Structure 1
């Protein structure tokens, strides 16, 4: 039986191919040794069965299969025979393509690259000079960590993540494909992240306040990650956007002069509410939370979102309108209610300077059921005035 010698056969492992011994002395094994007459290596002694007559297989012409396709793959398709000794291995691209790298990881940015990216975002943003300074201060703090030889790898990774969040928020705040409302939200996220980070590291604040700001900072980071996720659904976008607005509004209002509650107990009450909302948001996002935990968190979030539509809140708004409250007063009461809920958020709103004349007039109108509440808000901590709300 003639075998085409041009058919590719894997070369022997050592040395040049050697013709097999005569067929009558050592018959080729039927299953283990390919049949080519000239390129088959001599079988090892331990593998050669004794030349006993009873073990000699039938002639090769009958049972030796032709060069099977599964044993000798065509070149270039599945397996290529290894190069012979001294023969250079063909580099990828000559005859076949090299497989693509699996899950390529983008190279980490250097501190200088991070600085240039975020500073470009700051310069190109519509932020006020004051807000730009806040974001720049956060960037400076991040760069100190990234350039600190004594900082741990974990600290540097966290700092780089903060810088990435700032840069992404600033970029989206100017993205032409982003709606105006979303652009404003991303700009507020950049400022809010900066303020929360600075407050969380302010040695002049009590430890519990620093911790509260740190939690808000983490939540804002999570919200930004959610809003920029590739698989963001419309429902998720509404959810994250709503809570970004509420957390940002609460954060800014609690710490800014002129809007922060003046009485310590009031400030504590508002911060506790914001912390409760943050915890509920975190639980609702957590895929490992139980169904009961997620249900309780959702109830908290739904109640907070619905605070400005409650019957009692609407009655208060009706009374404010009767007293001819300016739109600025109505807006701030609504915002505070959305941020800190009913009734604490609403009463907090009444202490705003835009409502001062309206509240004074309401307190003087003793014929109104709301007079006692207005009087209490002007003289006491608003968190102690809930009992004065008309039934």
Structure 2
């Protein structure tokens, strides 16, 4: 952890770093430090502490693999900086997960997001591991690509189209977009939709019983959002 944090601070201070790169480094630092604080919280349960430690290990592995010289040889889903950007977005999701104002409240939701973030970090590490089998790298890249391209997902685009029917606040639309970018479809999207900034939008959608999205909005309004993906319209 010390190695990763030290490297990030050096990169943040690099005068040649682009604003986009610097934001990525800050996201990684923020995700890691917020999780370390959570691990040290005297009120955290042993189960949550173990989950946080697992996330930190996976995150460290992903960052180290991304910065390793051998990572330049990996098959990039999009652009030479794909792995670093993906680590940064996942780290931003981790930072928001640890923030009191944005953290999921329901234990089922927390476990789902914890698991998704850890799995993505592990996939990023495997995708760049020269010792992994071709199939392991292919499967890992598929998982990472799904997150990188989440904002292009047809389901996400249809959800945003439905959300905009109810004239959401800018904060609601931005939160759903940010969580989708950070954690992917559908976990990130529904996490964003369940936030307080989208409460009025969710209530409006839940009141429209004749629409195909009604069941999803009603579920998010009443239940843990992690239980609602089955209500996403199939067509």
What TM-score comes out, normalization by structure 2 length? 0.85
Give the stretch that moved more between structures: 350-359 or 337-346. 337-346
SS at match of 1:378: helix
Instruction: State whether residues 169 and 224 of structure 1, in contact with CA within 8 Å, keep that contact through their aligned partners in structure 2.
Output: no
- Relative distance call for 1:222 and 1:239 in structure 2 (3 A) is farther
* Residue number in structure 2 paired with 1:275: 118
Instruction: Report the alpha carbon displacement of residue 224 of structure 1 after superposing the two structures with TM.
Output: 4.3
Bigger radius of gyration: 1
Instruction: Report the alpha carbon displacement of residue 175 of structure 1 after superposing the two structures with TM.
Output: 2.3
SS at match of 2:212: coil
Counterparts of 1:243 and 1:324, CA distance in 2: 30
Matched, 1:317 2:160: yes
Matched, 1:348 2:196: no
Instruction: Report the alpha carbon displacement of residue 194 of structure 1 after superposing the two structures with TM.
Output: 1.8
Q: List gaps (5 residues or longer) in structure 1.
A: 1-160
Aligned pair count reads: 230
- Relative distance call for 1:238 and 1:322 in structure 2 (3 A) is same
Counterparts of 2:64 and 2:134, CA distance in 1: 24
* Residue number in structure 2 paired with 1:218: 57
- Relative distance call for 1:227 and 1:286 in structure 2 (3 A) is closer
Matched, 1:390 2:230: no
* Residue number in structure 2 paired with 1:206: 45
* Residue number in structure 1 paired with 2:107: 264
Query: How far does the alpha carbon of each residue in 1:338-361 deviate from its partner, in whole angstroms, 9 at most, with x for none?
Result: 333322221111111221121112
Instruction: State whether residues 166 and 204 of structure 2, in contact with CA within 8 Å, keep that contact through their aligned partners in structure 1.
Output: yes
Instruction: Report the alpha carbon displacement of residue 388 of structure 1 after superposing the two structures with TM.
Output: 2.2
**Larger RCO: Structure 1 or Structure 2 (Cα < 8 Å, ≥ 6 residues apart)?**
2
Counterparts of 1:317 and 1:355, CA distance in 2: 12
Instruction: Report the alpha carbon displacement of residue 179 of structure 1 after superposing the two structures with TM.
Output: 0.4
Instruction: State whether residues 177 and 189 of structure 2, in contact with CA within 8 Å, keep that contact through their aligned partners in structure 1.
Output: yes
SS at match of 1:270: helix
Instruction: State whether residues 27 and 89 of structure 2, in contact with CA within 8 Å, keep that contact through their aligned partners in structure 1.
Output: no
* Residue number in structure 2 paired with 1:365: 208
1:1-391 alignment, distance < 5 Å? 162=2, 164-225=3-64, 233=72, 237-391=80-234
Counterparts of 2:126 and 2:47, CA distance in 1: 21
Query: How far does the alpha carbon of each residue in 1:19-47 deviate from its partner, in whole angstroms, 9 at most, with x for none?
Result: xxxxxxxxxxxxxxxxxxxxxxxxxxxxx
Q: List gaps (5 residues or longer) in structure 2.
A: none
- Relative distance call for 1:221 and 1:272 in structure 2 (3 A) is closer
RMSD: 2.5
* Residue number in structure 2 paired with 1:48: none
